[in-house]
Each structure stands twice: as structure tokens, then as C-alpha cells.
Amino acid sequence: MSIETFYEVMRRQGISRRSFMKFCSLTAASLGLGPAFAPRIAHAMETKPRTPVIWLHGLECTCCSESFIRSAHPLAKDVVLSMLSLDYDDTLMAAAGFQAEAIIEDIKKKYKGNYILAVEGNPPLNEDGMFCIHGGRPFVEILRETAADAKAIISWGACASWGCVQAAKPNPTRATPVHKVITDKPIIKVPGCPPIAEVMTGVVTYMLTFDRIPELDRQGRPKMFYGQRIHDKCYRRPHFDGGQFVEHWDDEGARRGYCLYKMGCKGPTTYNACSTTRWNGGVSFPIQSGHGCIGCSEEGFWDKGGFYNRVTDIKAFGVESNADRLGGGVAAVAGAAVAAHAAVSALSRARSNNDKNPGGN
Amino acid sequence: MAVQVEVSGAAQTAAGRTVFVYEAPVRLWHWINALAISVLAVTGYLIASPLPSQPGEASDNFLMGYIRFAHFAAAYVFAIGFVARAYWALVGNHHARELFVPRLADREWWAGMRQELLWYAFIARQPRKYQGHNPLANLMMFLMVTLGSVFMIVTGFALYGEGGQAGHWANVLFTTWVLPLFGQSQDVHTWHHLGAWMMVVFVIVHVYAAIREDIMSRQTMIGAIINGERTFRS
Amino acid sequence: MAYETQGFKIDNSGKRVVVDPVCRIEGHMRVEVNLDSHNVITNAVSTGTMWRGLEVILKGRDPRDAWAFTERICGVCTGTHALTSVRAVEDALGIQIPENANTIRNIMQLNLQVHDHLVHFYHLHALDWVDVVSALAADPKKTSTLAQSISDWPMSSPGYFRDVQNRLKKFVESGQLGPFTNGYWGNPAYKLPPEANLMAVTHYLEALDFQKEIVKVHTIFGGKNPHPNWLVGGVPCAINLDQVGAVGAINMERLNLVKSIIDRTQEFVEKVYLPDIIAIGGFYKDWLYGGGLSGKSFMSYGDVPQKANDYTAPNLLLPRGVVINGDLGRIHEIDLRDPEQVQEFVTHSWYKYPDEARGLHPWDGVTEPDFALGANTKGTRTRIEQLDEGAKYSWIKSPRWRGNAVEVGPLSRMVLGYLQPKQYPEIRDMVERALHQLDAPVGALFSTLGRTAARAIEALYAANLQQTQFDKLIANLKAGDSSTANIDKWEPSTWPSEAKGVGFTEAPRGALGHWIRIKDTRIDNYQCVVPTTWNGSPRDPKGQIGAFEASLMNTPVAKADQPLEILRTIHSFDPCLACSTH
Ligand code: HEM
Ligand code: HEM
Ligand code: NFV
Ligand code: SF4
Ligand code: SF4
Ligand code: F3S
Ligand SMILES: [Mg+2]
């Protein structure tokens, strides 16, 4: 993410060194700092700035932000103070109203093509987008405008990546993931509901440190954190292979930490780093605390049938049933049909034999 | 390839005549395939709904591991067998090709289809005679066995490649595109599972039809898939 | 338009000021106020500007999954909706949970209270009182003296404050102010001396580091935070203290970790959070605006059942009851099943009812969106400049208790506790101690600052309760009971064909209830009435205003183009808009 310094941008726009210095003293004054600060501000602006980040919120629950501030390495504090410049984030910023909106305009101008747009949540498209209003306007408009000049977009969490809970059937607001609205920018999906804190800061620091977008899989997720399933690295895996399962809650198997497969664990179908990185500084992760994975980093995980069923729902052809109920049902019907057909066949054969030999014998 | 039109009353299907239909590789494949599918269906079911928990240390147990191993071993047999059978369709006799090329463009074939349906609905009193598959059987075989096997192999190896991880041949060849195609891993499981039931349904109907036709139609069936020869009755 | 309601004179004739987005809250919100010629607020309009439709989405689903959906209503008060949901389902199906499950749930809920309150004060609210830029002018030595005079928290040396100040200086000098860009620095409504500002900014950073420790209690019992896992019938984590495989369950090491976090949390609240509130409050004692409905009509459902499965008032460690029209001597009982008590109106909300003059009890609740703006709106449908509060103007519904708008939240709880000293002597003590330290009368509680102080007091109360609940867990384990789940009614085949239930909690922001109807093992209707729905509600058919709007009334604004006072008061409620509309 190489960025022009602020001074370079101003020079490129034909602003003289003199007015640049004047700008610096004005900045110092507007911050309530003495004139002594002006040269230092000027110096900072001539050196490489921290990458600006605009963090927008659509329809969501803010737990991605909450997760982010839980990061232990690096500390969220250090990310915000030293690594990037979190210039806009509704949840944390001091400003509000038009002072807040002005920041977006400012960043778009000053750092055109050089800022990162982080999106938490997603835009609803029904009701002209007015299920999520921002400054009196549909959020989707703000998203489009801000994306237009961004260098890259990070889709935080299941909301921005896939749609998440508000997009679950029947998706009354037509909540739409970011990549379906913004199609002309590199988008890094960091799914999870929420994503793991250290995965979030890991993705950000990777981009800042190596000055590039991490390697993504076909669905746009960084391979380094989403390349394996929970099940591939689950510490309960020996119990899975051994055929040792929790059969019901709080049974002997639960107390011994057996595999949660029969309790509906979605670890075998979920790509995330929980079983290795774990949560909250490595303290635990869902399975370690006795509940199966619900597949929270997977697309549409809300609509795959109950969280406690191993065999999940089928929604094709308008039927809602699980594979065993549907398939078993069809098999049973086939079996019954075969039996009935066999009976009729036997009857008709007996009758035609009679036809051939009227009177018997 | 000369297309042989097989209609009842033709010289080849005259009562008492015996023709050679299924070559040895087809018969061998048939029974290996039948065995593989049986193993796959049973182990697949047990993968989705495992047996009751095993007592003792995890390290002393590998039941689920063995069940999955059996599934994957049978899967390889099933898949390799399918490829070998496809090869034989190219080099074997014309009956060996029927499984792969239903004669959808052939009016006579459709007329035969109608006749078969009437026969199964107890309306027609006599079935037609065929050296190979009757059109209804042909279509069912193509849909359920040929396409069904491809479906099970593609979804199965996509799931298999997940365990194999990035770089594993099955992952490269299948997982990378099958997962996004279906949505996500869980959907692939569900469809694979549904496919398994489709196979079971096919087997039920197929075995019934084979035995029934052997008794009721005027040609041998079971003998044909065992020794390759079909004898016509009056 | 001018009229009187609940003792407030509403007059929308003056100059209109709009704040949208309101930041440092959860979710999307808009405030509009009218100012008279003295810049005093004479009309306040608060609007929830988002809706997701969780109540619609829940229909037809498995009730055992509802906790996971409702938990995603909010990641800030994470877990409280999940707990409310499993309680509603258990109520409907008549499921009794084991004692340990109740205690673990209590610990998790109390843990949320402390965490949410702490983060709210330092990271969402403090900048309304603390001028970050002024901290640069502080003398670290004097800051150290100030800090040591109010607390024996060890991180208080001059060198420590100097380090933080230097880091802050470097940050400001970079010209990239990050989240502090365009703040209202230097506004005359900021009253703290630079030394107090530096102390507060330092604790802003310290609290940011520490809050991630608090939530580890959720991680241990629920596997992660935000959004830990819950279970209908108990808790998902099994306990195994003695047997083979204990490492796969809650064992002694896990319990020790919980204990150490509880200890440190208590210490942080006692030695940093509460002293900061008292110190900062001391400089704003004269700023007594923002009381709104707080001294008049307020409510709490109560929470933290001491014994499992008993949700009646005497068994609850957080108080239950309603006070109406300032009659502090009379605490009304609440019956959440009574169709006449809790009702939601939509006359001014973007929803449709068959008959909008009437409210609906949540069991019969209807959620059908209907976005339409009033005739006096300025701007267009997708470019709103000014709302018409005479028509529908918010995605929040208007819940009322027996027709009354009430305030909910920590202040309501602490006052209800204060009013019942026999049952809640600790609350009485804590409130009195704080008032004494501030040298303020009880009436001072009914203000913006009072709301903020009550939250801090409650954080300590919750931190202490976390300790006693932990002790209770240990005692029960010692007595040989390690059960955590009741699975008798886990299978839907054991359920009646129709059932209805209600679950409630005291969420960090106030009284929370979920009402569920189950039909043929599926959710037939699910309605959430949420703390910020109560506080942020728009007007009702009688024109009564909600707690947010009431709290802004009659407040003077120092600079009309800098909405600092509006933010200060609105933030004192800790609004959560994702919650309010869900
Ligand atoms: C998993 C079980 C089975 C599968 C998947 C299966 C599949 C097939 C297939 C694909 C063919 C066509 C062969 C070709 O044209 O290349 C076939 C033919 C045949 N199978 Fe099976 N089979 C199974 C079990 C059985 C069993 C148990 C019997 C014995 C009762 C049986 C009897 C026959 C007969 C008689 C034919 C020849 C039918 C004809 O000539 O049209 N099959 N089977
Ligand atoms: C007729 C053929 C087959 C049948 C009837 C069958 C059946 C099944 C069934 C019922 C499942 C459980 C699905 C679930 O609910 O998760 C399953 C899983 C699986 N099958 Fe198959 N299968 C067949 C072919 C294959 C093939 C060709 C492969 C290729 C390797 C394969 C690989 C797998 C894998 C990897 C799994 C998942 C195992 C796990 O999650 O541990 N299957 N199969
Ligand atoms: N209002 C609200 Fe919540 C809380 N506390 C929940 O019920 O924040 Ni999101
Ligand atoms: S992805 Fe999940 S955690 Fe993140 S905002 Fe959405 S609902 Fe919350
Ligand atoms: S608990 Fe879940 S992720 Fe772990 S081994 Fe069992 S099924 Fe796999
Ligand atoms: S539910 Fe989510 S947090 Fe991890 S273990 Fe599963 S992906
Ligand atoms: Mg509601």
C-alpha cells in the first residue's frame, strides 16, 4: 500500500511550500496547539503517512468491531495509534454529524486511491436502501462513494462477506454482501461471526507490513487463515476417528471431551482458524467449551437447517427436509412401489397363465 | 458403427435363440461395481450417522477411521471401475456402449420406450424383445448409473480433497471448483448424501426389474449378467 | 407545533439542528433538535435509522436455534439476547435448568455488565467529557499526584503518564488524528483541567487493553467472545473435576482462570473506573441536565436469579419493578404475561399494524415494515434533510408499560435498588458512598452524569456479584453436583403442539424481554422488546416522548454547530440501535 506523503499530494495539486506551511500552522492552531507544533506537523506530513482507513458500518451487530478491539497481538491500541490511521469509524470516532461526514470527503480527496475501506455489515437494497440510513441517505450510496476511491476493501465478518443473519431467509431487507455491490475493487473477505481478533489484525498488519494483499482463495478469503477446516486441526479429532461421540448434552462423553459431531458440529465443513489460533488470546474456542461449531464463517450458515443436526436441510425443489428424510423417504416409496408392482405382476401373470390354459391343467 | 434395430419378431430374437451380449469385462465390472456401491452406501450412511460411542481411550479406537477408510477404498474402486468401464465402452461390443449413449434422437427408441411404459403399467400384454437394454432400462441406467456415478465421484472426491488439503490431487482437481459451485462444503455433503439415496433407489428398482423381467419378459436377464448370454423365449 | 407532555413543553418552532450519524454508539441513529433563541433545546426527535428484521427471520425456525440468531442482534451486549432467548424457550416448554447452569449463566451475564459498562464509559462516552488535545498540556507530575490522590492503582507514576503523553504528542504531531479527527476539542463545555484529561486519556488506553481480559470468562464457558455459545436446558460446557478426560471440560485450571479474571476485573473497576467517574464527575457537578424521564418513570425487570428457575422478584439480585410519574414511594410489580402491561405502538414507527391507535402485547406482536415519510419532511425519500415527527419517523417501535413511557438501564436499576435497601443493602451503600464522594444530593442522580455514575456503580456491583456467584458455583461443586444441562425436553417430539413463553434479563442497557410462540415444534411468533427500544422510542399515539427525547429537553447548547451536549446526554444512555430495532 505505498502512499504518497501528504506533502507530495499537495505539491502534486500545485500547492506551494508556503501555503503548505501555512496549512500546518493552521492545523496546529485548530488543534489548540501552540505555533511551536507547526514545524513538527509539517515534518510528519512530509514523511510517509500511516495508511488511512475508513471503517463503515452497514446492517450489522458491531461484534466485528468488538472482536477487533480484543486483539492481543498486536494490541488494538497499537494498531490504531501506530500502524494505521483509523480516520473514520462511527463506533469509535469523536466526531458526529456533519463533522463526521466531512472526514470521508477529506480522506477521499487527500488519499485518493490510497486508503483502505473496511466494511462491517452490509447494505440493504430493499426500500431504496432506507433500511440503513446514514446522514439521511441510503447506506449503500455512502458505500459506493467511499469504495470508488479506495485502494482495497476489507469485508469484515460474515455480514460484509456473505450477508449473515439479516440475509437469512427471507432476507426482508435484501441485505447484500459487499462484493455483490462493489465489483471493481479487490475485496478481502475476513468471514466469521465475528472473525477472530488476531485474524483481523493479522490481515491488516500483513497488508501494511508486506505492502500487498494476502493470497486469497477462490472465494476471496486469505488462505493463511481460511485454508483449513476446524475439523482438520480440531484437538477432538482423535475421538472422531475413534468413533467416540458426545451422544447428548452433559453426558459422560461431554465430560471427557469427546467429538461433538453428533451434536451437530459443523467443524468438518467450516473453514476458519478457530481450532488453531483459538479465541481471545488463545483461551478457548467453541468446541473446546463444549458446543459444536455452528459454521459461522461459512456462506449462508443460518439457512442450513438446525445447528444441532448433523445431516442438514435441503431446500431444493421447494421441499425443506434433510437428506436422510428426503432420500430415505424416496427409497421407502420406491421399495413400497416395487412390492406393489411385484404383487400386481404376480397376479397378472397368474391370470394370463389362466388365459392360456382355460379350464386349468 | 452399425446401428442394430432390435424389434420383436426379428430373426435374432426368435424364441430359443441365444445371443452373446455382455463381454467378460462388463460382467466383471458389474459385480465389482455392485459391491463397491453397497460398501459405499453402508459406510456413507455410517459416516453421516455414526455408530454408538466406543469405550476406552481414543488412541485405542479407530472405528470411524476404518469406516471412512472403507468408504474411500470402495470409492477408489468405484471410480477406477467407472473409468475402466468407460474405456470398455470404446473398445468393447456395441452393447458396452449403451450405458453411455442413450439413443435420444431415435424415434424407434422412443416408441420402444412407450411400449415399455405400457408394459410396466400392465396395459401392454407383451413386452418387446431386445438383445441389449430396453429403452426404459437404457435411459434409467444412463441417468442413474452413468450421470449418477459421475456426480458421486465428483462430489465425493471434492469432499475427499478437503481432507487432503490444498495441493492434494483431489483438492486441485475437484475441491477447488466444486465447493464454490455448490456454495460451500456443507452443501456438497448434503448433495452427496442425497446422491447416495438416489443410488439406493436405483438399486432397489434395478434388482426388482431385473428379476421381474427375467421371469415375465421373454428373455433371460440374470443369466445375461452372469455368463453374458441372453436366451429368448416365446 | 407546541404541546405539553410528561411535564415537558415541546415546541418545534426554533432553529433545527440535525446530528446524523450520531457516532460512538452501536448502530445507526439520528437526532434532530430545535433550539430557541438562547440555544436551549425545546424539541427533540430521536430516530433509529436501521432495521434488519430478525423477528421476521426467526419465524418457522427451530426454537433451540433462536439464541444464536438473537445473539446476533448485538455484538456489544453480546450474550444477553441469547440468554433471554433460552429463558423464553425454557419458559415455553417448562424446562428446569440445573443449579450450575444458572450460576454459570449469571457469571456470564454479570461479566457482560462489567465489560460493556467499562467499554462504554472509556471508549464511547469519555470523549464527551475529556478533551484529548488538552491532555498534551498537562504536567505529568501533577497528573500523577491527582491519580494517586483518588486511588491506589499502581500504574500512576509521573514517568508512566509522561510516556503516555509523549506517545499522544507524537500521534497528534503526525497530523493524522485517527478517531480523534474533527472532535470538539476546545469547546467551552469541556471543563477538565489538562491533568485530569491526561489521566482519563491514559485510562482510555489502559481500559482498551484490559477489557479484552474481562471477556475471557465468556471464552471459557462459551468458547468465544463476542458471541459465546448457549444452550436450551443449561450451558454447553460440561464440568469434570475428577475423572479421566477432565482436560476436555471445565476443570480446576479453567476455574482458576475464571477466578483470576474475576479478581482483576473487580480491582480495575474499584481502582480505576469508579475513581475516574468520581474525579471527572467532580468537575461537572453543576452540569445537571439530561434527567429526562429518569426521576419520573423508570423500570427494571430484574435479573441474576440466586436459585435456579425462580424468576420472581425476591430471588433476583438485580431489582425488579416500575415507578411511574415520580411516585418513588410506590414500586409497581411487573407481569410480562399480562396483555395490558407491556405493549408496543407503531404510530410513529415505520411499521404497519391493523389498528395503530392500539398497542400490541408482544405475544400478539406484529412486525411488518412500512417506510414512509410525513408530509412535512424536508428533502426527499432518500435524502432526508429534516424529519416530520408528526408522522412515522423511526425504525424503533414505542413500547409502553401500562401506557407509560419509561426509562430503563443502570440508573433505573440502581435507583430501584436504592429504594429497596432491605433487599439490596449493597446498592444503597454504593450509591450513598458515590454521592458522598461527589458531595451531591440524591436528586443529582436524575441527570446525564447520574446515569453515567450509576453505570459505574453498577459495574462494581456486578463485579462483586461475579465473585459471589463464582463462590456459589464452587460450593455447589463441592457438594457433589456437577450437572450442567437438562435434556429431558431436548427432543422436539417431547414438546406440546403449542406453547408460549417469555424470557427476560437485565441487559447492560436495561430491561430486555423476548416473547415466543411455538407451534408444531417451530417458532410461530418471536418478539423482542429491547432496552434501547424503550429508551429510544419515538412518540406514541398520545404524543408521549421516550427517554432519549425527554433527556435532551431544556438543555442549553454552547455551540449550535458542535453538538457536544447532545452527544453527552444521548451517550449517557449507551444507545444500541442494532438492539433497538433488531
Ligand atoms: C449396487 C448394485 C447394482 C448396480 C449399481 C447395478 C448396475 C447395473 C448396470 C449399470 C447394468 C448395465 C450393465 C451394462 O449395460 O453395462 C446392470 C445390468 C444388470 N444387472 Fe445390475 N447392478 C446392481 C446389482 C444387481 C443385482 C444384485 C442383480 C441381480 C439380481 C443385477 C442384475 C443385473 C442384470 C440381470 C443386468 C442385465 C440387464 C440387462 O440385460 O438389461 N444387478 N446392472
Ligand atoms: C455410490 C457412491 C457413493 C455413495 C453411496 C456415498 C455415500 C456417502 C454418504 C451417505 C456420505 C455421508 C454424507 C454426509 O452426510 O456427510 C458420504 C460421505 C463421503 N463420501 Fe461418499 N459416497 C459415494 C461415493 C463416494 C466417492 C466416489 C468418494 C470419493 C472419494 C466419496 C467420498 C466421500 C467423502 C470424502 C465423504 C465425507 C466423509 C467425511 O465427512 O468424513 N464418496 N458418502
Ligand atoms: N439495547 C440494548 Fe442491548 C443491551 N444492553 C440489549 O438487549 O445493546 Ni446492543
Ligand atoms: S458478521 Fe456476525 S459478528 Fe460481525 S457484525 Fe455481522 S453479525 Fe456481528
Ligand atoms: S468436535 Fe467437530 S471439529 Fe472436532 S473432531 Fe468432532 S466434528 Fe470435527
Ligand atoms: S462457529 Fe465460528 S467461531 Fe469458529 S469454531 Fe465455528 S467457525
Ligand atoms: Mg421487537
Which residues crowd ion ligand 7, with CB under 5 Å? C 528
* Residue B87: per-residue pLDDT: 97
Chain A nearest C-alpha distance from B216 (Å)? 8
Cα of B203 vs centre of ligand 1, distance in Å, is 8
| CATH at A88 | 3.40.50.700
| Boundary residue ending a domain (A185, A205, A226) | A226
Cα of A290 vs centre of ligand 6, distance in Å, is 12
Residue C434: phi, psi to the nearest 5?
Answer: -65, -45
Q: Is A354 on the interface with B (CB under 8 A)?
A: no
Task: Give me the helices (H) in C479-536, please.
Answer: 531-535
A285 lines ligand 5 (CB under 6 A): no
Report the alpha-carbon distance of residue A63 to residue C119 in Å, rounded: 13
> Which grid coordinates are listed for C156?
500512576
Instruction: Report chain B residues whose CB lies below 8 A from the CB of A299.
Output: 183-184
User: Do residues A208 and A76 both lie within one domain?
Assistant: yes
Report the alpha-carbon distance of residue C241 to residue C235 in Å, rounded: 17
C509 lines ligand 3 (CB under 6 A): yes
User: Do residues A284 and A187 both lie within one domain?
Assistant: no
User: Do residues A66 and A167 both lie within one domain?
Assistant: yes
Adjacency order of strands within the sheet including C510-519? C498-507, C510-519, C522-529
Which ligand 4 atom sits nearest the alpha carbon of residue C72?
Answer: 7
Q: Which of A261, A323, A352 sits opposite B194 (nearest CB)?
A: A323
Mutate to test the pocket of ligand 2, among B64, B69, B159, B188 (most ligand atoms within 8 A of CB): B159
Instruction: Report chain A residues whose CB lies below 8 A from the CB of C218.
Output: 280
User: Do residues A112 and A25 both lie within one domain?
Assistant: yes
Instruction: Report chain C residues whose CB lies below 8 A from the CB of A175.
Output: 52
Residue A351 falls inside a structural domain: no
Residue A171: phi, psi to the nearest 5?
Answer: 45, 65
- pLDDT at residue B113 greater than cutoff 70: yes
Q: Are C498 and C552 in contact (CB under 8 A)?
A: no
* Residue C247: per-residue pLDDT: 84
Q: Average pLDDT, whole number, for chain B?
A: 91
User: Do residues A166 and A278 both lie within one domain?
Assistant: no
For every one of its 361 residues, what pLDDT tens digit does chain A have, with 9 covering 90 and above?
456 777 777 777 777 888 778 877 877 776 667 777 778 777 777 778 899 999 999 999 999 999 999 999 999 999 999 999 999 999 999 999 999 999 999 999 999 999 999 999 999 999 999 999 999 999 999 999 999 999 999 999 999 999 999 999 999 999 999 999 999 999 999 999 999 999 999 999 999 999 999 999 999 999 999 999 999 999 999 999 999 999 999 999 999 999 999 999 999 999 999 999 999 999 999 999 999 999 999 999 999 989 999 887 777 666 677 888 889 999 999 999 999 999 998 888 888 777 665 544 4
Residue A1 falls inside a structural domain: no
Q: Are C218 and C77 in contact (CB under 8 A)?
A: no
Residue A347 falls inside a structural domain: no
Report the alpha-carbon distance of residue A213 to residue A204 in Å, rounded: 9
Q: What are the pLDDT digits (tens) for C497-550?
A: 999 999 999 999 999 999 999 999 999 999 999 999 999 999 999 999 999 999
Does the predicted interface ipTM exceed a cut of 0.90?
yes
Q: Which domains does chain B have, with CATH numbers?
A: 90-233 (1.20.950)
Beta strands in chain A (DSSP E): 51-57, 84-89, 115-120, 133-134, 137-138, 150-156, 187-190, 313-314, 321-322
Residues 10-49 of B with CB under 8 A from A: 48-49
Residue C175: closest CA among chain A residues belongs to which residue? A41
Query: pLDDT category, C15, cuts 50, 70, 90?
Result: very high
Q: Is A342 on the interface with B (CB under 8 A)?
A: yes
Which ligand 2 atom sits nearest the alpha carbon of residue A323?
Answer: 15
C361 lines ligand 3 (CB under 6 A): no
User: Do residues A30 and A162 both lie within one domain?
Assistant: yes
Report the alpha-carbon distance of residue A213 to residue A206 in Å, rounded: 8
Cα of A288 vs centre of ligand 5, distance in Å, is 10
* Residue B5: per-residue pLDDT: 41
User: Do residues A213 and A254 both lie within one domain?
Assistant: no
* Residue B131: per-residue pLDDT: 86
Is residue A39 within a helix (H) or strand (E), and if so which, with residue range? Answer: helix A37-46
The torsion angle over the Cα atoms of residues B151, B155, B158 and B164, rounded to 10 degrees, is: -110
Report the alpha-carbon distance of residue C187 to residue C561 in Å, rounded: 11
For chain A, how many structural domains are there in total?
A: 2
Q: What are the pLDDT digits (tens) for C315-361?
A: 999 999 999 999 999 999 999 999 999 999 999 999 999 999 999 99
CA A289, A292, A296, A297 torsion-angle sign: positive
> Which grid coordinates are listed for C192?
477538565
Q: Is B198 on the interface with A (CB under 8 A)?
A: yes
* Residue A34: per-residue pLDDT: 72
C26 lines ligand 3 (CB under 6 A): yes
Chain A nearest C-alpha distance from B86 (Å)? 28
Q: Left, alpha or beta for A238 (phi > 0: left; psi -120 to 50: alpha)?
A: alpha
Q: Are C61 and C69 in contact (CB under 8 A)?
A: yes
Q: What are the pLDDT digits (tens) for C201-253?
A: 999 999 999 999 999 999 999 999 999 999 999 999 999 999 988 888 999 99
Give the 3-state DSSP-derived string for B81-144, with helices as H, strands as E and coil as C.
HHHHHHHHHHHCCHHHHCCCCCCCCCHHHHHHHHHHHHHHCCCCCCCCCCCCCCHHHHHHHHHH
User: Do residues A190 and A49 both lie within one domain?
Assistant: yes
Single-letter residue type at A238: P
| CATH at A254 | 4.10.480.10
Between residues B58 and B39, the one the model is more confident about: B39
User: Do residues A92 and A32 both lie within one domain?
Assistant: yes
Residue A316 falls inside a structural domain: yes
Q: Which domain holds residue A272?
A: 228-326
Q: What are the pLDDT digits (tens) for C88-147?
A: 999 999 999 999 999 999 999 999 999 999 999 999 999 999 999 999 999 999 999 999
User: Do residues A212 and A237 both lie within one domain?
Assistant: no
> Which grid coordinates are listed for C46?
430521536
Residue A139 falls inside a structural domain: yes
Residue B216: closest CA among chain A residues belongs to which residue? A349
Cβ neighbours for C279, distance < 8 A, ≥ 6 positions apart: C146, C150, C196, C199
> CA of B13: how far to CAs of A319, B103, B230, in Å?
46, 20, 9
* Residue A178: per-residue pLDDT: 98
- pLDDT at residue C150 greater than cutoff 50: yes
Residue A232 falls inside a structural domain: yes
Block residue for cell numbers 455483490: A180
Which ligand 6 atom sits nearest the alpha carbon of residue A294?
Answer: 1
Q: Whose CA is nearest to atom 8 of ligand 1?
A: B30
Residue A124 falls inside a structural domain: yes
Report the alpha-carbon distance of residue C101 to residue C108 in Å, rounded: 11
- As a whole number, mean pLDDT of residues B110-133 equals 90
Mutate to test the pocket of ligand 2, among A234, A239, A266, A311 (most ligand atoms within 8 A of CB): A311
Q: What are the pLDDT digits (tens) for C23-53?
A: 999 999 999 999 999 999 999 999 999 999 9
* Residue A30: per-residue pLDDT: 66
Chain B nearest C-alpha distance from A164 (Å)? 14
* Residue B10: per-residue pLDDT: 55
User: Do residues A192 and A261 both lie within one domain?
Assistant: no
Block residue for cell numbers 433371460: B220
* Residue C214: per-residue pLDDT: 98
| Boundary residue ending a domain (A226, A257, A275) | A226
- Whether residue A255 and residue C25 make contact (CB cut-off 8 A), yes or no, is no
CA C172, C177, C182, C184 torsion-angle sign: negative
Residue A200 falls inside a structural domain: yes
- Whether residue C78 and residue A92 make contact (CB cut-off 8 A), yes or no, is no
* Residue B4: per-residue pLDDT: 41
User: Do residues A178 and A248 both lie within one domain?
Assistant: no
Sequence-distant contacts of B120-126: CB under 8 A, at least 24 apart: B120/A341, B122/A344, B122/A345, B122/A348, B125/A352, B126/B8, B126/B218
Report the alpha-carbon distance of residue A310 to residue B49 in Å, rounded: 8
Instruction: Report chain B residues whose CB lies below 8 A from the CB of A335.
Output: 204
B89 lines ligand 2 (CB under 6 A): no
